[in-house]
Amino acid sequence: MAMVTGNTLLAQSLKRQGVDTFFFIMGGPINDALLATMAQGIRGIDVRHEQAAAMMAQAYARVRVKPGVCFGASGPGTINLTTGLANALIDCAPVVAFGGASPSHSFGTGAFQEIDQLALMKPVTKYADRVLDTARIPEAVATAFRQAISGKPGPVYIDLPGDVLYRQIDEDQVYWPPAVGAIPPSRPLADPELVGQTIERLAQAQRPIILSGSGVIWSQAEHALEDFVGRTGIPFYTTPQGRGVIAEDHPWCFAQGRSTAFKEADFVLVVGTRLNFVFSHGKPPRFSSQARFARIDIDPGEVQTCQRTELPLVGDARAVLEQLTVAAHQTIGPDTYRPWRDRLQTIELAKAPAAEAKLATDAHPIHPLRLCKEVRDFIDRDAILCVDGQEILNFARQTIPSFHAGHRLNSGPFGTMGVGLPFGVGAKAARPDKQVVVIHGDGSFGLNAMELDTAVRHQLAILVIISLNGGWTADPDRIKPGRDLGYTRFDRMAQALGCYGEQVERAEDIRPALERAAEAVAQGQVALVNVVTDWRARASTASFTSFST
């Protein structure tokens, strides 16, 4: 019978799993595997640093709600994936990573680039394994994809020694497991008794709120959540990563009343997100000591991580929300919490004019809030927005709304700097039909700035906007070590790489510059607008660490 190599088996396995794009840097021993994969009609996007490959795969996964794929060559190439994979792990994003490795027969002899890659990957992935039998490559790939998307999603890693990839075997020895996508997703229901208790507590509550996160996106529960909100009239708030699951101009989204809603809520329904530092772990004074908490999560271990959880609803977010909607039909309606919504609406109406006035400042140097306003008023409603940095991340979080699930990407709870541009490239690769806008701080941009070249070479026309405040974070006293980076002409760097580039120094020039950049993007060109902003402007946000200054 016909003989086949591990390289070909890997390529065929990826095709069977529905992969259409992967991110990589060439190198041994994966070069022939990459060629074989491309021969299957799968698009390979070569990057300038492997950490960016993993980050692009994460963005692809978020936008397409399916695993993103990346490759690393042996040794340093694979190790460079770890920063992106760690970010995906904390963000619960399904990424499937493959690393070439030194030949298995030479393990322990000091072979070229030999290091225990599997041991290095285990702490930064949900699942990691090594293939030692060429015939079992399809099984390993199927397991990887299944692990990435089952339960709480996350990154996985498969180690591929060079001799396993290049070994020839009879294709009759190969077992082909079914494609993971061909198996309907598991949607476990919550305990009906706990569902009933949750509705009873909700019916007794006067000031409930909903907190939702990325779990809503991964379970494709945005419509179920919107239906539940519409049927019950409960105000909702999201994590930064879960934004857009319900359009933020929904009448029951009270952004300006967020702090009050948290402090005064007497019942909190947490859907598909952790009660971590983002929500002060559910503790006072952020939340009332009298508030009762129910949590929907597919991971039984996760729902018990917060001591305040009284009602652990273990199950798929979409399935459990549908359970709650049916159960609430007889006891809770849109008017049940009208007085509570009226209070939050009053706060919203009182605060909104002052907040909008702050955005309209003509100050020089440009205040980042003005930059955010111009971006907010310019981008498409369904734009995919990637934000990365310190001050600009917080200013954008406060001012730029999202309207579609999976269209808002940032560094997430791991706080990894440098994700913005790779996220933008990965998002554009996933959805070339959408406007992709990256807002970067100048410090974070520098970490993966050469991925502009990746975007240019692969004709991924994105718009990059840099808030150039001359360094890391705002520092009015200029006492932070290594804070000052200077005012780099990133627009000229962009031009040198084949992008459209422009620098802006006055507020009234931002919108015209964005329009010119957008015209370049419409013509298929990557564009960068370098905006000089006030180095003293510091965003107000919760202190997540005891050592923040």
Confidence band of 546 (pLDDT split at 50, 70, 90): very low
Note the pLDDT tens digit of each residue in 207-257: 999 999 999 999 999 999 999 999 999 999 999 889 999 999 999 999 999
User: What pLDDT does residue 475 have?
Assistant: 77
CA distance 377 to 383: 12
Question: What pLDDT score does 22 carry?
Answer: 98
- pLDDT at 77 > cutoff 50: yes
Question: Treating both helix axes as pointing N-terminal to C-terminal, what angle do 338-359 and 368-378 enclose, rounded to 10 degrees?
Answer: 110
Average pLDDT over residues 501-530: 98
Q: What is the mean pLDDT of the chain?
A: 94
Instruction: Provide the pLDDT confidence category of residue 483 given band limits of 50, 70 and 90.
Output: confident
3-state secondary structure of 356: helix
pLDDT for the residue 489: 98
The amino acid sitting at 502 is E
pLDDT recorded at residue 469: 95
The letter for the amino acid at 341 is R
Report all structural domains of the chain as residue ranges with CATH numbers, in order of start.
3-182 (3.40.50.970), 192-347 (3.40.50.1220), 360-532 (3.40.50.970)
State the DSSP H helix or E strand holding residue 238, giving kind and residue range, or none if neither: strand 236-238
Whole-number Å distance between alpha carbons of 88 and 54: 8
- DSSP run (H or E) holding 143: helix 137-149
pLDDT category at 549 given cuts 50, 70, 90 is very low
Residue pLDDT, tens place only, 276-290: 888 888 899 999 999
How far apart are the C-alpha atoms of 444 and 447, rounded to whole Å?
6
Per-residue pLDDT at 443 exceeds 90: yes
> What does the pLDDT look like over 307-323, one tens digit per residue?
889 999 999 999 999 99
Other Cβ atoms less than 10 A from the Cβ of 127: the count is 18
The Cα–Cα gap between 462 and 380 comes to 13
What CA–CA distances, in Å, run from 137 to 23, 54, 140, 303?
20, 21, 5, 35
CA distance 100 to 91: 25
Confidence of residue 543 (pLDDT cuts 50, 70, 90): low
- Provide, rounded to the nearest whole percent, the portion of the chain with pLDDT above 90: 85
**Which segments of 358-418 are extended strands (E)?**
384-388, 408-410
Asked whether residue 465 carries a pLDDT value surpassing 70, the answer given is yes
Q: pLDDT-based confidence at 548, cuts 50/70/90?
A: very low
Average pLDDT over residues 24-41: 97
Residue 279 · residue 155 · CB < 8 Å:
no
Lowest mean per-residue pLDDT among 32-46, 68-82, 104-118: 104-118
d(CA 411, CA 240): 9
Residue with tokens 């111009």: 374
Output the pLDDT for position 542.
Answer: 55
Burial-class residue 546 by CB neighbours within 10 Å (0-12, 13-18, 19+).
exposed
Cα angle vertex 38, ends 32, 40, to 5°? 110
Using only C-alpha atoms, the chain has a radius of gyration, in whole angstroms, of 24
Kindly report, residue by residue over 388-436, the tens digit of the pLDDT: 999 999 999 999 999 999 999 998 889 899 999 999 999 999 999 999 9
Dist. CA 154–CA 85, nearest whole Å: 9
Q: Is 296 helix (H, G, I), strand (E, B) or coil?
A: strand
- Grade residue 105 by pLDDT with cuts at 50, 70 and 90: confident
Positive or negative, the CA dihedral 229, 234, 235, 236 is negative
pLDDT of 237 = 96
Instruction: Report whether pLDDT(537) > 90.
Output: no
Mean pLDDT, to the nearest integer, of 90-105? 95
Alpha carbon distance 539, 482 (integer Å): 20
Closest CA to 426 of 406, 455, 457, 402: 455
What are the Cα distances from residue 280, in Å, to 76, 146, 155, 248, 296? Answer: 37, 33, 26, 23, 18
What confidence score (pLDDT) does residue 243 get?
94
Confidence of residue 306 (pLDDT cuts 50, 70, 90): confident
Q: What is the pTM of this model?
A: 0.95
**Number of alpha carbons in the 13 Å side-chain half-sphere of residue 259:** 7
Q: Give, in degrees to the nearest 5, the angle at Cα 491 between 488 and 494.
A: 110
- Going through 94-179 in order, the beta strands assigned E by DSSP cover 95-101, 127-130, 156-161, 168-170
Share of the chain above pLDDT 70, in %: 98
Going by pLDDT thresholds of 50, 70 and 90, the confidence category of residue 547 is very low
| Confidence at residue 410, expressed as pLDDT on a 0 to 100 scale | 93
Mean pLDDT, residues 103-126: 91
| pLDDT tens column, 125-156 | 999 999 999 999 999 999 999 999 999 999 99
Task: Give SS3 for 72.
Answer: strand
Specify the 3-state DSSP secondary structure of 383: coil
Tell me the pLDDT band of 448, cut-offs 50, 70 and 90: very high
